[in-house]
Structures are given as structure tokens and as C-alpha cells.
Amino acid sequence: MRRPKIIVAGILDTKGEEILFIVERIREMGGDARILELSVGKEVGWADIGLGELLKRSEISERELFSLERAKASELVVRSAILWVSESWAKGEIDGFVAVGGSLGTSMATRIMQTLPIGVPKLMISTMASGDVGLYVGTRDITMLYPIAEAGLNAITRKILNYAAAGIVGMAVANPIPAKQEKPLVGCTMMGTTTPCVLRASKRVEGEAGCEIMVNHAVGSGGRSMEELILEGHIAGMLDVTTHEITDFLFGGILNAGPNRLTAAGKMGIPQVVSTGELEIIVFGPRETIPGRFEEEEKAGVPGRKIHVHNPAISAAGITPEESFLVGRHMAGKLFAAGGPTLLCVPLRGWGGYDLSEPDLNLGWAGPGPGPFWMGDPEKPEWSFRARRFINGLLKDVDNYETNIQILLADMHINEPAFADLLAESLCEMLRGNWEGILHPEDKRIFRLGSKEFGYP
């Protein structure tokens, strides 16, 4: 069996004892371990890759580094370590990366890990692992292990560090996946309240286009990781059903994927079919975490501003018509810049399981009454008023939308089987290179934006 090349990293003047123990155990278990120093107070002198080696990639000396405040010093060490790791990875000298740290060491090591490709084993042993680890994991495949104790070797920590060493060696020597013909990978986005649409549409695309589907949970990290995968060239097409993260980005929700959501597919020129899944809500944590102004607006009867508790950990507020208008403008700015075939499908009868005019368990709401976020159009009550304002926003700054993007409106709810089929068939046509526009022209429930016979929006 080959000896995997494992990098063991940390702040050695505070975690040196633990790191030396891990190195010993890795070598005992058949790994080739090298120590990467991330110290910011002094250089210990016994690391395989010491600060002096790292700082060759910087314009600062060790003496200058140690005179800096710890936050600034750590930033310089991380930048230098990232360059070293990139060079070593390119040479085939890294099969796995493990680190030990407290709050500073964890922040430093995981930032370095995040630059390694997906599939390279990454293990962070950290006292921060029992809390919110989103900052450390980011969008990469980083495993975090809670070591119980902050520092030192004893009967407990030796056991934990021992199986951590075994874990990184085992991950690094895992048998390769049997070779098979790779299928194109299509990205997809989902939340619980768009599940019926996503499951049906993704199954059809997978079966009819001869591809594999990767479904990401649209909870912020899911959208960010999908955008990164697209830019890295892993994704051949997008079935972007659930664009909810945009609403949270604009209005302060917790499932925020940042400003680059809905940009990567356009930059890469890959086919994308986009819809409005769960754009009608802003997501927060428990009910008591919802900002007071939302509670006040609900009490004051502000149109669209309803609050619903999804579960004890998650609650949501409905967006107002004017916020829907702003979402439309924002999405237009992303989609109209797309360099590849792009279709935006807007379902007019609701965008999620909580957004429908009457109870329908198959669509996601058992009742009683309409879904908690439903808001009917005064001129056409069976259609969503948010959809009208969203479309107004889409067209606000656009003179000609007949570029690479086409916009279809559907007299359907997002979770209706016919709507899922529309998304799936459209993307399949794009992936085959046969996309010419609207499918099923005989279906009077589907029409291009601007069709005068419908007088909409």
C-alpha cells in the first residue's frame, strides 16, 4: 500500500505537543506526515515547512511578522501558506490535510483547506466544532472534529487524536471509485416547499438527457457552493428551481448566498432554466429572532407581510409587493447578462408550498384556508400579485429581453407536475442543443412574457 502524503498544520508554539502526537500516529498507520507551521508568535524551529519557508512567498521577514498584531500576522501567514499549498498540490505532494487549533488556528487552517479541490481529505480538529461551523467549512468538504479539551495530551485527548490520525490516513488511501463513463453533471436547487417540483423535474432530466443531477439545498451555503462548482467547470447545466437565497440576500434573511448568486451559469455560458422557488419569503431563525419591524408591519396589515413558523428553528416573513418588484429588478440584472441559453419560468399561481390560494396537500399546503404567504392579484385573484410585481421589476430597466434569455409565464403552481415537466423538457432541449423557445404552444397555460392576448403583466 502506498504511503499517503499528509500535511499536519497548526500554531506550533501552542499546539505543538498535540501535532507531534498526530504525526507519530499517522506514521505508525502508514502515512507520510509533514508538519506545516502556522505560528504567529515565534518560529519553533522543528517544522518540516517552517515560517521561514512560507514567508519566502511574502515581502515580510519573520522579525517583522512577530512585531505585528496577531490578526495581521495571521493574515500574512495564511496568504503565504495558501501559496505553498497550491504549489505542493500541483506537484502531487498532498493526499490529505489535517490541522489542530483553537479559534485562531481553526480560522487559519480552514481558510487554507478551502483552497484545496473538492475530494482532497480535509480534517479540522477544533474546539470550535461544537458551535456554528459555517465560517470554517464554507462551501468545501471539510470534516470537523471536537477534541473535548483545548490543549494537552491525556487519556481522553490521546484517544481522539489517535482516531483523527487514523481517519485522515483512511480517507487519503480510500479505494478509488470504479471507473465508469462519466455523465454530464446538472445542478439543481431545492427547499422543502419546492420538493415536488424538484423531484419530478430532476428525475426527468436525469433520465432523458443522460446526465446526473446534483441537488443543493438553497440555504446560503448550497447556493454559494453551486456557484463555485459552476465556475470550476463541474456543472454542464442548471435546473435552478429554488432561487430563494436572493430574497434573503436583499432583505436580511439568514439563508443568504451573497451577491454572486445567479451569475456563474451566465458567465460560463451553460444552459440554465431558472424559476422563482420560495422567492416570496424571507427566512429567519426561531420566531423571537425576527426583526421587530416585520412584526410591526404584520400587525399594521402591510400587504404581503405575514409571518409563519416553519419549525422551532425556522420562521419566515412574506415579502411585500414592492419587495417582489425589487427582486425582479435584481434577477434581471443577473440573468440578462447571461452568455448562454437561459429560460426564466414564472409560475403565476404560487412559488412554494406555503404560497397557494387554497389547500392542496400535493402542492404542499394542507390548510385550512390559503397558504400563509398567498397574496392574490386584485385583477386576477387566482394569480399571485407578487408575480405581477416581480415581472414589473424584471422589465423595469430592460428595453429588449429577446437576448439569450427567454421568459415564460405559466398559469400553474410551481409544484404542479405540468410545471415541473415544462422546466425539465426545456432544459433537456437546451442540453441537446435543440432549444428554440416555448414548448407546447398548444398549451394555453404557458405563454411568453408580453403576449398581448393575456394582457399581462
**Residue 343 φ then ψ, to 5°:** -125, 125
Q: What is the mean pLDDT of residues 402-426?
A: 90
Say if residues 338 and 272 touch (Cβ distance below 8 Å).
yes
Say if residues 123 and 116 touch (Cβ distance below 8 Å).
no
Average pLDDT, the chain: 89
Tell me which of 15-29, 179-193, 223-237 is least confident.
179-193
Q: pLDDT tier at 454 (50, 70, 90 boundaries)?
A: very low
Q: If you search the block for the grid coordinates 422567492, which residue do you land on?
A: 279
- The secondary structure of residue 42, as a DSSP letter, is -
Q: If you search the block for the grid coordinates 394569480, which residue do you land on?
A: 383
pTM over 0.75: yes
For residue range 195-237, what is the model confidence (pLDDT) as tens digits? 999 999 999 999 999 899 999 999 998 899 899 999 989 899 9
For residue range 243-270, what is the model confidence (pLDDT) as tens digits? 999 999 999 999 999 999 999 999 999 9
Structural domains in the chain plus CATH codes: 5-172 (3.40.50.12020), 185-454 (3.40.50.12030)
The set of residues, in sequence order, having a beta carbon less than 8 Å from that of 367 and lying 6+ positions away, is 358, 359
pLDDT for 199: 93
CA 128, CA 251: separation in Å to the nearest integer? 29
CB atoms within 10 A of CB 76: 20
For residue range 51-99, what is the model confidence (pLDDT) as tens digits? 888 988 887 888 888 888 888 888 889 999 999 999 999 999 999 999 9
- % of the chain beyond a pLDDT of 90: 63
For residue range 144-174, what is the model confidence (pLDDT) as tens digits? 998 877 677 778 888 889 989 999 999 998 8
For residue range 390-401, what is the model confidence (pLDDT) as tens digits? 999 988 876 654
**Amino acid letter, 379:** E
pLDDT for 457: 59
pLDDT for 128: 85
CB atoms within 10 A of CB 207: 12
Evaluate if residue 452 carries a pLDDT over 50.
no
Q: Any idea what the Cα angle at residue 218 is, between residues 403 and 211, rounded to 5°? A: 65
Say if residues 129 and 107 touch (Cβ distance below 8 Å).
no
Say if residues 147 and 128 touch (Cβ distance below 8 Å).
no
Evaluate if residue 451 carries a pLDDT over 60.
no
